[in-house]
Amino acid sequence: MKIKEVDREEYLSLGNLACAGCPETLGFRHVLKALGPNTIVINQTGCLAVVMQMAVPKVPHFHVLFENSAAVISGIDDALRVRGKREGVNLLVVAGDGGTADIGLSALSGAIERNQDFIYVCFDNESYMNTGGQRSGTTPFCARTSTTPVGKVIRGEDRVPSLRKDMLEIVAAHHIPYAASTSIAYPLDLIERVRKAAAVRGPSYIHCHSPCPTGWGIDTSEVVNAARTAVQAGVVILYEVEAGVRRRTKRVAKRKPIEEYLRFQARYRHVLDDPEALARIQKDVDERYEAITAALA
């Protein structure tokens, strides 16, 4: 895909309530460009729902509850089918990681299992940023959040085993027609994944890595670099699962060491001088990278 092929229309108005450098708003802008005007957006409670209060998109936008977007869009899908109005309309859910991996997982699982026709995009900023940065099921090991503070006894997220919830693999286990991971650092990849998702009959899921400058303590000018480094370090692996077949969508020639990704972020400051924690994080990243790579076609 080439940049020339990207829709020049802006579906989000200029000016909104997002933090400076917000990657989720950037990603949402690109998702809407990928889908175009015949789209209905269901927005699960999260940062984007607040951002959208004053953003006024050029597509219908419905902020629902924290955990029910996949159920609401199921009803819309069914209703439009019965009314003979389903053709040509993209049904899109946008949600955060808390709404997706935690409180809304049941509704999402049900909607995928029922083979409802919708596109679900999860912007993963690895914590509940809208409520001030509490840990979620996708918060990585050692990360500092407001509910995993760096204390005198426990230092950051301390779950054992240390790997976070793997939403893409959870979704893939539902035999979903299409699922993919992507990153706000690769907008063309994001647009391509969303277009592919839209072409699918039935459910599709996009997991978009979305580093949060406010919550993670990243300089706003470095947000995209941090996101790109996550991919280059193999912390985030870009691949798609189509009819059960896993394909890599972004190759990494030589993986960068984990420190290069962590040093962008204040939430890891306490581990940069902790060789034991660094080794543990690196080991987890290596093992998952190898496991996913082995599963790729």
| Interface contacts to another protein, rule CB under 8 A | 37-40, 42, 50, 52-53, 56-65, 67-68, 70-83, 85, 89, 106-107, 109-110, 113-114
> Which lies closer to another protein via its Cβ, residue 62 or residue 279?
62
What is the 8-class DSSP label of residue 174? T
Q: What type of residue sits at position 141?
A: F
| 194, two tokens | 């969303």
Helices (H), 38-179: 47-51, 69-82, 97, 105-113, 167-172
* Nearest-angstrom CA–CA distance, 32 and 47: 17
CB of 27 to another protein, least distance (A): 20
3-state secondary structure of 42: strand
CB of 37 to another protein, least distance (A): 6
d(CA 71, CA 107): 6
CB nearer to another protein: give 119 or 281. 119
Q: What is the largest CA-CA distance in the chain?
A: 61
Looking at residue 196, its amino acid is: K
Q: Which is nearer to another protein, 13 or 293 (by Cβ)?
A: 13
Q: What is the CA radius of gyration of the chain?
A: 18
| Nearest-10 Cα torsion for 241, 291, 210, 256 | -130
Least Å from the CB of residue 54 to another protein:
9
Give me the least distance between CB of 93 and another protein, in Å please.
11
Query: Minimum distance between the CB of residue 135 and another protein, rounded to whole angstroms?
Result: 23
Q: Choose between 73 and 218: whose C-beta lies nearer to another protein.
A: 73
Complex with another protein: residue 75 or 257, whichever CB lies closer: 75
Among 34, 47, 43, CA closest to 210? 47
**Which helix (DSSP H) or strand (DSSP E) does residue 119 occupy?**
strand 119-124
Nearer of residues 67 and 126 to another protein, judged by Cβ = 67
- Quote the least distance from Cβ 117 to another protein, whole Å: 12
